[in-house]
Amino acid sequence: MGYIVIVGIFSFIGMLVSNRLKSKFRRYSNVPLSNGRSGAEVAQTMLAHYGIHDVKIAQGQGMLTDHYNPATKTVSLSPEVFHGRHVAAAAVAAHECGHAVQHNTAYAWLKFRSAMVPAVSLAAKAQQYLLLFALGMFGVAGSNFLLYLTIAAFGITTLFSLVTLPVEFDASNRALAWLEESNYTRGSEHEGAKDALWWAATTYVVAALSSLVVLLYLIMSLAGRD
């Protein structure tokens, strides 16, 4: 029951933050860039500024699906960002290019997060099944062992969520610094870009807190069985 309550609370908070982010994106999608550049052009210019010529800029699908793939060196921008000539598109495109700059400069936190991906992928797939059996097998021989495994799996995914925070905040800081220095965003445009990226970062904060609270709950559950 405790687990359900925790998940329910953070799912609700996550939904609120996600809706707020979408609202901000729509708001700043109606604020055109004074220079009239598209998100793709912003990305190309930022990468060129940092001397990065081996990263591909591609158009993805969906809304707010933008990401940087270090394995393929690809900045994938959603259609609205790729073609958009507004503050939201510039902010998101610059943020994803911030990850490319991190990769190019061997940013330690990004390297650590990338190295964790195989283990996190396995842990994320296993933890939901482990949790179902571990919390459901009170008094059954071996249930404590399952709970240990569940805690280990959640520990890996929680660490990944925490490591993601400095990676995302640093990418946003790099993006905002470049947008300001290059005069791609000015005055209220820059404040809008900052606001949009702050709400984007908040989604990662909520995810990390949710994962951490669940991990602590599982540890307390194990301690209560001893």
Q: Which residues are catalytic?
A: 96
**SS3 of the chain: helix, strand, coil, percent, to 5:** 75, 5, 20
The closest of 220, 221, 207, 199 to 64, measured between CA atoms, is 199
CA atoms within a 13 Å half-sphere pointing along the CA-CB vector of 122: 6
CB 31 within 8 A of CB 86: yes
Query: What pairs with residue 59 in β-bridges?
Result: 77
* Pair of tokens at residue 133: 């059996």
**Where are the extended beta strands (E) located within the chain?**
56-59, 67-69, 74-77
The CA distance from 102 to 155, in Å, is 25
The closest of 88, 115, 79, 100 to 33, measured between CA atoms, is 88
